[in-house]
Structure 1
Amino acid sequence: MCRGLATLPATCLKSAKDIKHKISFLLQKPEPHSADQKQIKEEKAAAAAASRVPTAAEMEKWKESFSHVMSSEMGRTVFTKFLKSEFSEENMDFWIACENYKVSTPSKMSTRAKKLYQQHVVADAPNEVNLDAATREDTRLNVQNACPACFNEAQKMIYTLMEKDSYRRFLKSKLVQDLCRTCITSDVKKNTNCCKHT
């Protein structure tokens, strides 16, 4: 022990050790929970998908129907990028959160339902989605007895909103046109056909 510390009273040394212990405890990184790990995994997958260019075949499928966009990880990633440009990404966030909620363990369902409701459904929520009053109220009542289907109507309404509204603009967007040009260039190099223009 250095001479300076040796001259301090024992109570000061004990206080210093307590403070050191508290600081080291605060500096420890918490272990991520399984839900956090799943979110981290999804974010990494989305980042990987975002760096990949869709194929012509994928893009043709997206043009056929909105369900093809939503059933494709790459499609959801590109569509989310478009929604961000329109400041409406909360719709996709809510839809994905509902999908994740449905596979929650029964013990966590009630907590997750309340969190999802507070995040997206309640009036003035941080990421509020556009629901009519009746659906909002039905969802509020459903959350009180949380089950896998308690967000079904709200999720369906947001899906329909994205399909009828955002999806049409998505197909005509500069983002999709640029991706089409990229896949045309890529396919010319491969000597194959590519996207037809929208």
Structure 2
Amino acid sequence: MPSLIVEPLNTQEFIMDRDDRKRNKNIGKNFMCRLQGMFSHSSSSESRLTLEDTQQWSQSLDRLLESKYGLATFRNFLKSEYSDENIEFWLTCEDYKKIKSSFRMSSRAKKIYEQFVKAESPKEINIDYHTREQIKRSVKSPSLHCFDEAQKMVYGLMERDSYPRFLRSDIYRTLLENLSADAAKG
């Protein structure tokens, strides 16, 4: 019978793991307080961050983005990964679609192009050359839909890449753990 070799437990690693868990719990609590503080002035029905709401974020990217807390948490996560240009572009496009004035639309379309679409722009999004050129042409006489294709691409990138990483992230897992612990306390 083969012998089982057991390596000695490294006490320092155990202490660091316990300390890391404590630190993550504190970070999660601090983040929860900051999130709720951001929206404390709000009078909407979604006034408190709950475990159920937070669990629903894992159902789809849409569910996450529909929640003010989910959106704020996801934005914070993307900033930590230096890829917040995607959510910023997506949100900017959502606001752009609400514009009624053709003058404002034209002005705003040019700003969006300069900020997100133009090659080498400050917050350049990852889209293909064909889409970039199509937007460049359409911005000259913009419509409400001139960014739709790029917005779909960016959403797809977030859904396939950033969103799954977010669900596995320390920030999301710690938030769930803290809310579960609070719910268990009653």
* TM-score range normalised by the length of the shorter chain: 0.7 to 0.9
2:183 corresponds to which residue?
Answer: 187
TM-score (norm 2): 0.73
Match of 1:177 among 164, 170, 173: 173
CA contact (8 A) 2:54 2:176 kept: yes
For residues 46 and 145 of structure 1, do their structure 2 counterparts lie closer, same or farther at Cα, with a shift above 3 Å needed?
farther
CA contact (8 A) 2:36 2:49 kept: no
2:19 corresponds to which residue?
Answer: none
1:116 corresponds to which residue?
Answer: 112
Cα distance in 1, alignment partners of residues 181 and 163 from structure 2: 25
Residue 144 of structure 1, CA deviation = 1.4
Higher relative contact order (CA 8 A, sep 6+): 2
Cα distance in 1, alignment partners of residues 48 and 74 from structure 2: 13
What pairs with 1:121-132 in structure 2 (closer than 5 Å)? 121-132=117-128
Cα distance in 2, alignment partners of residues 77 and 141 from structure 1: 33
Match of 1:141 among 130, 137, 142: 137
Cα distance in 1, alignment partners of residues 36 and 153 from structure 2: 24
Matched AA of 2:88? D
Identity value in percent: 40
CA contact (8 A) 1:98 1:151 kept: yes
Match of 2:88 among 93, 106, 127: 93
For residues 78 and 49 of structure 1, do their structure 2 counterparts lie closer, same or farther at Cα, with a shift above 3 Å needed?
farther
Cα distance in 1, alignment partners of residues 109 and 63 from structure 2: 28
Residue 47 of structure 1, CA deviation = 6.5
Residue 120 of structure 1, CA deviation = 0.3
Residue 174 of structure 1, CA deviation = 0.3
1:48 corresponds to which residue?
Answer: 38
Greater Cα radius of gyration, structure 1 or 2: 1
Cα distance in 1, alignment partners of residues 61 and 177 from structure 2: 21
1:161 corresponds to which residue?
Answer: 157
Match of 2:73 among 71, 78, 82: 78
1:5 corresponds to which residue?
Answer: none
Question: As a proportion of its length, which structure holds more helix?
Answer: 1
Render the CA deviation track for 1:107-159: whole Å, top value 9, x for unaligned: 21001000100000000001111111111111111211111111000011101
What pairs with 1:20-59 in structure 2 (closer than 5 Å)? 48-49=38-39, 54-59=49-54
Q: Which moved more, 1:120-129 or 1:58-67?
A: 58-67
| Long gaps (5+) in structure 1 | 1-44, 191-198
Aligned length in residues: 146
Deviation >3 Å, runs of 4+: none
Q: How large is the Cα RMSD of the aligned pairs?
A: 2.1
Match of 1:63 among 58, 62, 74: 58
TM-score (norm 1): 0.69
1:15 corresponds to which residue?
Answer: none
